Amino acid sequence: MPIRVRGPRPAKSPRARAGRGAPSGRLRIRNLTLTAVATALAVLVVTVPSEATHTPPRTGFESAAGARWTGADEERSLLAAVDRYSDRVTVDRIGTTRQGRPLRLVRIGGGRPEALTVLLVCSQHGDEPAGREVCLETIRDLGYATDPATRGLLSRTEILVLPTANPDGLAAGTRGNADGLDINRDHLALRTAEARALAAVIRDRAPDVIEDLHEYGATPPFYDKDLYALWPRSLNADDRVHDASERLVERYVRPAARDAGFSSGRYGVWTDPVTGGALKQTGGDGQERILRNTAALKHAIGLLVEDRADALPEAEQTDPAQGQRRRVRSQRVALEALFAYADEERDRIRAATARSRAAGSADRGPVYLGGADNEAPEPGEVLADPPCGYRLSADRYADVRDELALHGVRSRPDGDGVYVPLGQPARKLIPLLLDRRATYHLTNGQPDTAC
């Protein structure tokens, strides 16, 4: 039977502008019927045709009832088995880490030009494994699902999964990669092999929705919810993409978590345990080098999900497997809500991402070098009248040519160097890469103001 989720659905509100908090108000209730995809995800034993001669593979985590995480060899075997069995699953190697481990991208479904594309980025931080487990189970469940509804949905939805975004960190049990770099702080500079591979996927596949799966350490009693979620807070995000992302968080993911018995909050916001009011913000800002925000600059609806890694109840401390199963279950609920959103609001999503891409060439509005949707930028952080483009000398261009290409930024020859015009879909990304005033810029471009 389909899973049914009851959750609050407020009337659409305008975007919270800089210096203002996100809108609040009493939420109205309506029923959501999750899609056949969510139904397939909700079961660990998948029905296969009677003529099948083998059983769907299980993850190491499932086989151990949550007592340990799935190993690298077990992941490789599972992906190979699903790839062999299912004609709608393809596994490709898209990169190699410094220590020689493969970066694999799994493609499920699609096949139509108008297909909606959803990208799941799992465990960018190597010491946050719960999201990876859900991603592996999802690949298996969707690959082996046989019901017509799921097959129909996957024919019009392409699901891309990067099941282990940081293989070296996973092997070492570290947040960073083999170079000690935080991949989720590298989506502008692209210094890491892992971020470069992901940037190429986003450039080439143009996903409409990107979910970034993480875990966090709790600080009771102010910051200890089972599941936190957040949308892109960058002021450079197109309003349509921003609003659709916030809608995903507030009308789908958080209500689904609460209905499943998990506590939920907005990532980065400490709350009073008695009143529930916000006390302070310790994370979740608007810096574009984080995938949640970079996704919006590349015209995708962005979602960050963080489950609580700490074993707070006594039962979880006594039996760690209970806590690990809870972590995976909460991530699964969030992912089911994402698929329900993608199915129910397909037209809204496609309109938001398409209009965001088209806006770059004609946009003449400001570009922000700081601030967030709930934090006003400083005066020096606003390019109120952005330049027409940036000129780069041949030497400077040689230093950043590959990164610009990975970001999908177009340029043209200009004398001894190149010219990067702002009139392109990457308009609001370009100053962050080339303007000397931007915090994480790649090089100092020469602004061209003679439009």
201 pLDDT band (50/70/90 cuts)? very high
Structural domains of the chain, count: 2
Question: Is 122 part of a structural domain of the chain?
Answer: yes
- Which of these three, 313, 335, 356, is where a domain ends? 356
* Residue 328 belongs to a domain: yes
The verdict on 340 and 392 lying in the same domain is no
The pLDDT confidence band at residue 151, using thresholds 50, 70 and 90, is: confident
Assign 119 to helix, strand or coil: strand
Of 302, 336, 356, the domain-final residue: 356
Answer yes or no: is 156 within a domain: yes
The answer on 230 and 172 residing in a single domain is yes
Is there a single domain that holds both residue 116 and residue 222?
A: yes
pLDDT, one tens digit per residue, over 107-142 is 999 878 889 999 999 999 999 999 999 999 999 999
Q: Are residues 349 and 399 in the same domain?
A: no
Q: Does a structural domain hold residue 46?
A: yes
pLDDT for res 147: 85
Q: What is the CATH number of the domain that holds 260?
A: 3.40.630.10
Same domain, 80 and 173: yes
Same domain (yes/no): 343, 393: no
> Are 74 and 146 members of one domain?
yes
pLDDT for the residue 52: 45
Among all chains, which residue has been given the structure tokens 């005033």?
A: 437
Contact 35, 54 (CB under 8 A): no
Decide if 64 is inside a domain.
yes
Residues 140 and 264 in one domain: yes
Is residue 365 one of the residues assigned to a domain? no
pLDDT mean over 50-67: 83
Answer yes or no: is pLDDT of 361 > 90: no
Domain boundary among 356, 376, 403: 356
Residue 209: strand pairing partners: 118, 301
Residues 315 and 420 in one domain: no
pLDDT tens-digit map of 264-296? 999 999 999 999 999 999 999 999 999 999 999
Range of the domain at 45: 4-356
- Flag whether 369 is in a domain: no
Q: Residue by residue, what is the 3-state secondary structure of 3-47?
A: CEEEEECCCCCCCCCCCCCCCCCCCCEEEEECCHHHHHHCCCCCC
One domain, residues 196 and 264? yes
- Kindly report the average pLDDT of the chain as a whole number: 89
334 and 438 within one domain: no
Angle (nearest 5°) at CA 138 between 135 and 144: 145
Same domain, 348 and 430: no
- 139 within domain boundaries: yes
